[in-house]
Amino acid sequence: MNLSRRTLLASVSAAALAGVLPKGVFAAESTPTKGGVLTVQLGAEQRILNPAIRASTSVFIVTGKIVEALVDLGEDGSIVPVLAESWEAAPDGKSVTFKLREGVTWHDGKPLTSADVQYNAMQLWKKYQNYGTQLQLYLDAVDTPDDRTAIFRYSRPMPLDLLLRAMVDLGYLVPRHLYEGTNPLDNPANTAPIGTGPFKFVEYQRGQYIIAERNPNYWRKDQPYVDRIAWRFITDKSAAAAAMETGAVQLSAYNQLSLADLDRLKKDPRFSVGTRGNEANPFNNTVEFNHRRKELADVRVRRAIAHAIDVEFFIENFLYGNGKVATGPIPSVSKAFYPGGTFPYPFDRKKAEALLDEAGYKRGADGNRFTLRLVPVQNAEDVPLFGTYIQQSLAEVGIKVDVVQLDNAGALATIYKEWNFDLATGWHQYRGDPAVSTTVWFRSGSPKGAPWTNQFGYKSEALDKLIDEAASEIDPVKRKALYAKFVQMVNEELPVWFATERLFTTAASVKLQNDNNTPRWPSSSWHDLYL
C-alpha cells in the first residue's frame, strides 16, 4: 500500500521546516499609525462567539478582539493584567482575590463590575464552558464585597499559577446584564457579542464575514490603531491562498491555509510565515475512542490501533515534516510538567494483528475483523487527511473504517453531543498547564455536549482521583510528580490518543506590525497591531 504524498524538502533549512524565524522578523520598524482595515481568513464557522461558554482558538481569533479576559500572556509568556489589575491567593489556596481595573465599560456603556465576574464564573464557566466545568469544579462561590473586588472561594486548594494560566483562555467576561435571566446557550449576544475589548462588534453574515470596528472608548488610551477588522469565511484553501497573494486577505492563522501553500508562501518576501506567536498553544492530532463500542472498550484493541498507524510517516509525508510523535498527553515544550519518556506503542503492524487476535477479533472470510465509523472535526486540512490515513492504515490490519465527513459544527455535535461515532479525530491544544485543557479529555463528569471534553464513555475512578489531586496540589514539585503518574496511567490505558505534537503556523502580510509578539497572538486582542 502506498500512502505517500511525499514532497521533497531537502532544500529547505531545518529552521524553516520548524517554522522558526528570528525574533526581529516581526518587529515594528516605524511609529504606530492609526487607520486601515485588517482582513483575516477563517477556514471554518463556529457559530458561537462567546468565549465564556466556548473556549476555542476558532472563537478566540474573533472574540479575543471584542471580549476580554481577566489576564493574558505577555511577550515573555508571563501573566499580565487585562481586566484584572492585581490578584492574591490565600496561603491555603482556597481563595483568590482579583482586583478589577477601574473605569472599564462595556461596549453598550454600562460599567464592568465584580458582579460580572461573579456571574461568568458561577453561571457560565462552571456550568457550560467546555474546559471551565472541570477547572471550576470545586469553586463554591465568588464574593463581591465591592464593585472592583471578586473573591473566588474553593472547597479544595486552587494553585494560583494554574488559575492564572487558565484565566488566559477561560477567564473571558461577557456582560451579566445581557445574560442573567436568559438561557445562556441561546442568548442572541452569542452571535452579536458585547465586550470591553479594543474592537466593537458590527455585523455577522453567516458563511460570509464578521466585522468589528475600533472602540473609541477603549480603556487603553489611543488604542487600538486599526479602524476595522473583517473576518472572511473562505473555506476553499486555494481561494484563501489566492486572497492572501492578491492582498484581499492579510492574515491567516492556526493552519487555515493548506500545508503546501504555507510551505510555498514562506519563500515569498511579501509574507511572514512561521510558528512565532503560537508558542503557548502546542497542539496534537487526536484519535478519540467511543468506549461504548465493545471492541473499543478493550484496551488491547486501542493499543492495536496505535501500533497500526505509522505517525512518523504521516508527519514526514503529509505534514511537511512539521511535528513529531507525541510521547503522551503532556507536550515536550511544557517545561514545568513534561515527564519525558517515549510513546509505548510504536508502529508495529504485526503487534497490532497479534493484539486484535488476542482480543478475539479474528479476520473474517473477507479479511475484515469489524467496521468502525470515524468522524473528523474539520479543524484544518490535516484532520480529514489524518482520518483517511487512519482508514487506510487500519485496513491493513483488518479493520474497515467508514469516514463520515461533516462540517465543523456538525462534527462537534455528532461526537460530543450525540455520541454518534466510533472513532473521531481532531485537535487538542495544550494551554500551559495540564489542568486547563488536557485532563478534561480524560476526567469523567463533563456536561454532555461540551466540546473537547471526555464524552467518550470512559471512566476511571483512579484517574479521576489523580486528576483532582494534581489540580489541587499547591507544591509545584509534587504537582509535576502527580502529572508524571497521570501520563503513565493514560499511556497504559490509552482512553484517548494524542498522536502528534505540533505548533501552529501563521501567515501574515509583512504590512502588519506588532504582530505575533505574544505567545498566543492569534487569540489575543491585537490592541497594539497596526498596518
| Domain hosting residue 77, numbered range | 68-178
Asked whether the predicted pLDDT for residue 45 surpasses 90, the reply is no
Q: Is residue 413 part of a domain?
A: yes
Q: What is the C-alpha end-to-end distance of the chain, expressed in Å?
A: 49
| Stretch 465-479: mean pLDDT | 94
State the pLDDT at residue 134.
87
| Residue closest to 274 by CA, chosen among 11, 506, 12 | 506
CA pair distance 490, 302, nearest whole angstrom: 12
pLDDT one-digit tens code per residue, 276-302: 999 998 999 999 999 999 999 999 999
Question: Is residue 112 within 8 Å of 123, Cβ to Cβ?
Answer: no
Check whether residue 301 and residue 440 sit in a common domain.
yes
CA pair distance 378, 389, nearest whole angstrom: 15
Q: In a 10 Å sphere around its CB, with 0-12 CB exposed, 13-18 middle and 19+ buried, how is residue 326 labelled?
A: buried
* Main-chain dihedrals φ then ψ at residue 72, nearest 5 degrees: -145, -175
Check whether residue 426 and residue 298 sit in a common domain.
yes
DSSP output for 439-465: GGGTSS-PPTT-TTS--SS---HHHHH
- State how many domains the chain has: 3
pLDDT one-digit tens code per residue, 144-164: 999 999 999 999 999 999 999
DSSP letter at 414? I
Question: Is residue 25 within 8 Å of 276, Cβ to Cβ?
Answer: yes
State the pLDDT at residue 522.
97
Question: Which residue shows C-alpha cell 473566588?
Answer: 152
Check whether residue 478 and residue 392 sit in a common domain.
yes
Confidence class of residue 516 from pLDDT cuts 50, 70 and 90?
A: very high
Question: Is residue 434 within 8 Å of 329, Cβ to Cβ?
Answer: yes
CA pair distance 397, 368, nearest whole angstrom: 8
244-247-253-258 Cα dihedral, nearest 10 degrees: 0
Cis-peptide into 224, omega within 30 deg: yes
Say what percent of the chain tops pLDDT 90: 89
Radius of gyration of the chain (CA): 23
CA pair distance 70, 348, nearest whole angstrom: 47
User: Which of residues 148, 178, 208 is at a domain's end?
Assistant: 178
pLDDT one-digit tens code per residue, 405-428: 999 889 999 999 999 999 999 999
Other CB atoms within 10 Å distance of the CB of residue 13: 9
Check whether residue 467 and residue 424 sit in a common domain.
yes
Cell numbers for 450: 461540551
Check whether residue 345 and residue 386 sit in a common domain.
yes
Q: Is residue 238 part of a domain?
A: yes
User: Which of residues 146, 178, 210 is at a domain's end?
Assistant: 178
| Stretch 117-127: mean pLDDT | 97
CA pair distance 459, 443, nearest whole angstrom: 7
CATH number at residue 261: 3.40.190.10
What does each C-alpha distance from 402 to 16, 358, 390, 392, 395 come to in angstroms? 36, 24, 10, 10, 10
Q: Is residue 346 part of a domain?
A: yes
Cell numbers for 425: 479525530
CATH number at residue 375: 3.10.105.10
β-pair partners for 376: 425
Question: Is residue 333 within 8 Å of 381, Cβ to Cβ?
Answer: no
Q: Which amino acid is at 405?
A: Q
Check whether residue 150 and residue 211 sit in a common domain.
no
Check whether residue 475 and residue 510 sit in a common domain.
no
CA pair distance 401, 382, nearest whole angstrom: 18
